[in-house]
Structure formats: C-alpha cells, structure tokens
Structure 1
Amino acid sequence: MNINRTIVKNIALNFIGALVYALAINSFLIPSKLGEGGVTGLMTIFYYWIGFPPALTNLILNGILLFVGWKMLSKQTVLYTIVAIASISFWLKLTSQIQFKLHDPLVAAIIGGVLMGIAMGIIMKGEGTTAGSTILAKIMNKYFGIKTGSAMLGFDLLVAVPSFVLIGFENMLLTIIELYISAVVLNKMLEAFIAKRAFTIISDKSETIAQALSNLNQTGITLLDGHGYVSGQPKKIIYCVCEAKLQVKVMDKIAQIDSTAFVVLDEVRSAYGNNLIKLL
C-alpha cells in the first residue's frame, strides 16, 4: 500500500510540475520572445524560427535523450521522466493560449525563471526529470557530485547563448538571467526537500539521550568513545543525523534530559547510507 501511495504521489507531482513548467513557457517566455536552455531552448528556437509546435518538439527531442538516461540513470527515474515529458506536452498544448505580454521583458524573465525552478523542483521531488539538460545534469550529479541546478545551468547556456541569432542580443541576456534564477530556485528547493541536521552531543546522560533520540528520529544513533582533555574523564559522544523539521524537537528532548549537555549543530548538504539522501 505504501508503495502504491508513493507511485501515485510521484505521478501527481510530475503532473503538477509539468503544468507549472508549461505555464512558464507559454505564459511568460514565449510572449516576451525569451529563449531557454537545453531541449526547452531548442523548442522555443524552432517555434520562433519555423513555428513548429513546442509540444511536438518536446516529445521528439526528449524521447531521443531518454535513451541516454535509460543507460545512465535508474529505471524508476526514467519511467517518471516519461510521465513528466508526456504531461509537459499535454499542458503545453492545453495552455498555448494563456499568454501574458508584459511591458518589461525583465519581469517576464524573472517570473519565468522562478516558475521554471519551482516546476523542476516539484518534478524532481516526484523522482522524475524534465529530460533534456536535466538528464545530463542528473548524470553529472550522480557521477561527479555537481549540484543539479548548477550543472543544468552550464548545459543550458550552450543553447541559450547562440540563440541571440533569432531572439536578439538583449533577449539572449535576459534568457541567461532567467536560467540563472531557475538554477538558484531549483537548488534551494532541492536543499529544502532533503535538508538534514547533524548533532554532536556530549553529555553525562548519553545513553538516555541516545535512546530518546532514537525513538524520536527512527534512525540509527552513533555513540563514540571520547574523553575530556582537561578532566581526563571518559565520555560518550552522540552523533545523530535527522531531518531539519525535527531540529527543534531534538533540541527540546536534549534539554529535558540534560540541560547542561554540550551540543554542536551542523547543516548537512549531503548524506549517504540507509534511508539517507544522495548529493543534491
């Protein structure tokens, strides 16, 4: 039942993310004649150049890139990506008439960038990708540890910069601004989704605290042997990694058991292991 709920949730996230993605393109980027990066950038270029439907371009080009993803990424990610691509094409067709022609194209670039970052964040939360440069970015993330949003920005610029031939130099610069904003928003969303906190706790009641945190966090707690440099007394040091949302509860639990405990709290960018998350 839990597996079925996860599948339904991920499909729903990919479908919703695809809607936001399509609105960013149809409602803000295309009306202001802004480009994009990767396959989406090629999609807008073909539209400006020969009027080729973005929904069809999305299916064709991303279908080709899926063969690369099938070899390099997990089959689960690829299958959810197929859902995302099909949903994007569906929404691109359905929302093609929803356009906002803003007087200032910079505003369109900012709004479009924010929406694109949010859309990709939602889709990746649903374990999918938008294919295109996202697949390449996922591969760079998996094998080289580069942040997904940053890797996407690099690949997207390879398409965005030459697009000035069709959209003009000024719009090309605005496109780069939009890509940068989307990369920043995506990185922030991914960090929020998998935010972790690491606690290092030194206390005379280490066993009691460890048991309480284990019940609260439902993950393993590590006890390390140590001793005070000045006192020479042996100490048990607790090391615990938990979700960011549990930070306040963990601090309260420690204070209830031992108000004199020494606690060091760190933000965790990445964690590997059982039930933990990979690099962003």
Structure 2
Amino acid sequence: MSFISSKNLTHIKNGSLIILGAFVYAIAINDFLIPHQIGEGGVTGLTAVGYYALQIPPFITNLVLNGLLLLVGFRLLDKRTVWYSLWAVLWISVFLKLPRLLTYHTSQSIIPAIAGGVLMGIAMGIIFQGEGTTAGSTILAKIMNRYFGMMTGTAMLMFDLIVAIPSGLIIGFQNMLLTVAELYVAAAVLNGFLSRFGAKKSVTIITSRTTEVTAELSARLKQGITLVNAKGYYHQESHPMIYLICTKRQLAEVVPLISSIDPEALVVVEEVHSVKGEALNKIL
C-alpha cells in the first residue's frame, strides 16, 4: 500500500527535475559564461551585466528581478507554473552562490559559448519537463503568448536579444556576438530536447488487413487505437484507416509489425505534440 498519493509523487518528481535543471543552469553561468565575459538573454543576461559592470553577485540579481517578474506572472498566468518557476528561481539562486566547479583554460572563446549554450538548453529542457520555467524572459514570453498570441519561442528570443545586443557596450562587440551564438545554441538544444522527450509520433495506416493489424498493434502497444472511416475517390471503396499516437521507441516496433502483416500497407508518420485541449498554449 502506497502512503504517497500520485499527486504528491508528481510534485516530488517535478521538484527534483527542477533542482537538477537549476544545477546545470548555474554551472553554465558560473563555469562557462561569466569567466569568459559572455552574456545571456533576459534576466540571466542582466545578472551577467550587473556582475561585469557593478560586481553585483549574480544570485542577488537573479532572485530580485525574477521575484518581481513572478509577482506579475502570478496575476496573469497559471498558478501551478508560477509556483514551480519560483522553486526553480530559488534553486538557481542557491546554486549561483557555489564556487566554480570546473577549472579549465582555453584561448578559444567560442568553446565556452557553445558549451554554455548546450548546458543552458539542457537545463531549460529539464526544468520545462518539471513543469517549471526559468522565469525572466520565459514569464514575459508566456504573457505575450497568452494575451497577444505571439509564439512563446519567438517572444523569448525577442526579450533575450533586447538584453543581449545592448550588453555589447559593456562586454564588447566580440563577446556580444558570442552571446548571440550562445543563445542560438541554447534555443536549438532546447528545441531538440523537447522534441526528443516531449513530442510523439502520429501514425496513419491504410491497409486491406485492418482487423489483423489493429489486433496486433493493440496487443503490442496496449493503448488506444482509433479507426477512421475513409473512402477512396478513385475506386469509391470504403476502408477504415488506423490512427494512433506513439513514442519514437514504439514506432521502431510498429513499422516492422505492420510490414510483417501487410507489406503493401501505406504508413504515414508525422511528429506531433500530444496535449490536452487546456494545455494547447504549451506547444506554441
């Protein structure tokens, strides 16, 4: 008998993912960006600029600015997301106080920019998997998405560049270009992370052996499968189409299974984000 409810297990899982993501996020800043005077976007960029120009500890800037943005978000966004985001901000601030964990030297500035971008993308992906955000430009982007219809990714990039480009006055033109490169790498890694762990595949199957294929797929996948009534225009014949959602790993089983039953079957595979209607804004 379990003494922990499924809801509490979800909170523990999400909270743990956010802590892990916050740790990786802080490593990217402390060990790769700040030591090489590479900026960032949004509030994180302001923490770097504050450190370079005024020697303000990054954890203080991060906590204060993100705290103010979360107060705005609390009135305008989903409360669950805001609470998880607050948890992320607190842990990022804690980890930013840690000394550098990695000690290395390189004369190639592009290396820490790329490494920092990769870690940033992974960190944000982990935090997003825990249903949180890194606050800052993410909060502003979600507000723009909810009230003005702007895609979240586009809004994030816009707010990040608003900080990153002017930071060139403090960190120099070369480091500003490295910052833009780092932002691009982080965005690409984040998209890849979410695609790998969040996206699923939709599979449409047209076969003359619908009953056999459906029975085998149901037995193998143990999940819902939909039959859609369809009619071919040329022969005017009615055939049900098989439609299902599966993971990339399951797809590797599905295609050979279909081919073994009906080598002539037509299989169409597309990438989708599977969400409930109330969560559609999360994929924009």
Q: TM-score, normalised by structure 1?
A: 0.89
Answering whether residue 258 of structure 2 is matched by residue 273 of structure 1, we say no
CA contact (8 A) 1:141 1:279 kept: no
Relative to structure 2, which stretch is displaced further, 121-130 or 4-13?
Answer: 4-13
- Which residue is equivalent to 1:102? 106
Structure 2 residues without counterparts, runs of 5 or longer: none
- Which residue is equivalent to 1:186? 190
- Deviation of 1:4 after TM superposition, in Å, equals 2.5
> Aligned residue pairs: how many?
278
- Deviation of 1:193 after TM superposition, in Å, equals 1.5
Answering whether residue 22 of structure 2 is matched by residue 18 of structure 1, we say yes
CA contact (8 A) 2:66 2:135 kept: yes
Answering whether residue 5 of structure 2 is matched by residue 4 of structure 1, we say no
Give me the whole-angstrom Cα distance separating, in 1, the residues matched to 2:114 and 2:167. 19
Matches within 5 A, 1:33-182: 33-96=37-100, 98=102, 100-141=104-145, 144=149, 146=151, 148=153, 150-182=154-186
CA contact (8 A) 2:199 2:274 kept: no
Provide Cα deviations, 1:121-153, integer angstroms capped at 9, x if missing partner: 1111111111101222334455636253x4322
The alpha-carbon distance between structure 1 residues 171 and 79, as it changes in their structure 2 partners (threshold 3 A), is same
CA contact (8 A) 1:13 1:125 kept: yes
Q: Per the alignment, in what secondary structure is the counterpart of residue 264 of structure 1?
A: strand
- Deviation of 1:169 after TM superposition, in Å, equals 1.2
Give me the whole-angstrom Cα distance separating, in 2, the residues matched to 1:99 and 1:131. 29
**Aligned match for 2:251, one of 247, 261, 274:** 247
Structure 1 residues without counterparts, runs of 5 or longer: none
Q: TM-score, normalised by structure 2?
A: 0.88
The alpha-carbon distance between structure 1 residues 246 and 141, as it changes in their structure 2 partners (threshold 3 A), is farther
The alpha-carbon distance between structure 1 residues 73 and 21, as it changes in their structure 2 partners (threshold 3 A), is same
Give me the whole-angstrom Cα distance separating, in 2, the residues matched to 1:52 and 1:154. 25
Give me the whole-angstrom Cα distance separating, in 2, the residues matched to 1:242 and 1:140. 32
The alpha-carbon distance between structure 1 residues 279 and 141, as it changes in their structure 2 partners (threshold 3 A), is farther
